């Protein structure tokens, strides 16, 4: 039982570390935490491969350089870690074809990570995309 509990804690710590890595913009440090063939999906896209995921994260942080995350709950079971968090940031750079608006965005999200051999192999993120677009002043039908 201790080994299982230790693995759950290690997985939770790895997820928390991914947020720290992204906040520091040291995206290459994700190599130690995520499998090179990992997949990512959110309501707007699907990505295959760690290199493409790192490019996405670089783009997000270029667009919203002051993004801050607050954890509300982190739960681990079997090979999955689920995080409920809030975020806030200022849209200062181009992102996914949306020119900088200077608008502040905030919201909550749920992220589900699946682990294999101690690394994240699948990351799914769910958030209110309509609210996100509205805060940016963008009509989602034009994207």
Residue with tokens 């750079």: 93
CA 103 to chain CA centroid, Å, is: 20
Residue 1: the pLDDT is 45
Give me the CATH topology for the region 2-135.
Nuclear Transport Factor 2; Chain: A, (3.10.450)
Q: Is 60 exceeded by the pLDDT of residue 42?
A: yes
Averaged pLDDT for residues 84-101:
94
Model-level pTM? 0.91
Averaged pLDDT for residues 37-43:
97
> Are 121 and 35 contacting, i.e. CB atoms less than 8 angstroms apart?
yes
Residue 141: the pLDDT is 79
Instruction: Classify residue 50 as exposed, middle or buried by CB count within 10 Å of its CB (0-12, 13-18, 19+).
Output: buried
Q: Is 70 exceeded by the pLDDT of residue 45?
A: yes
Averaged pLDDT for residues 116-124:
98
pLDDT band at 96 (very low <50, low <70, confident <90, very high): confident
CA 111 to chain CA centroid, Å, is: 7
Give CA–CA dist 69/51, Å, rounded: 23
Averaged pLDDT for residues 6-26:
94
Residue 135: the pLDDT is 94
Q: Is 90 exceeded by the pLDDT of residue 34?
A: yes
Residue 126: the pLDDT is 98
Catalogue the long-range contacts made by 85-91 (C-beta closer than 8 Å, 24 or more residues apart): 85/19, 85/109, 85/110, 85/111, 89/64, 89/65, 90/64, 90/65, 90/66, 91/63, 91/64, 91/136
Mean pLDDT across the chain, nearest whole number? 94
């Amino acid at each position: 039982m201790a080994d299982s509990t230790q693995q759950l804690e290690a997985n939770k710590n790895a997820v928390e570390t991914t947020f720290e890595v992204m906040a520091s913009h040291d995206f290459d440090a994700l190599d130690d935490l995520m499998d090179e063939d990992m997949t990512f999906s959110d309501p707007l896209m699907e990505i295959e491969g760690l290199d493409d995921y790192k490019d996405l994260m670089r783009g997000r942080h270029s667009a919203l350089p002051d993004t801050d995350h607050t954890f509300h709950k982190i739960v681990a079971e079997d090979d999955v870690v689920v995080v409920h968090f809030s975020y806030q940031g200022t849209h200062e750079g181009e992102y996914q074809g949306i020119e900088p608006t200077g608008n502040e965005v905030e919201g909550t999200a749920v992220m589900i990570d699946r682990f294999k051999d101690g690394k994240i192999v699948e990351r799914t993120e769910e958030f209110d995309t309509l609210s996100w677009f509205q805060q940016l002043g963008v009509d989602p039908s034009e994207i």
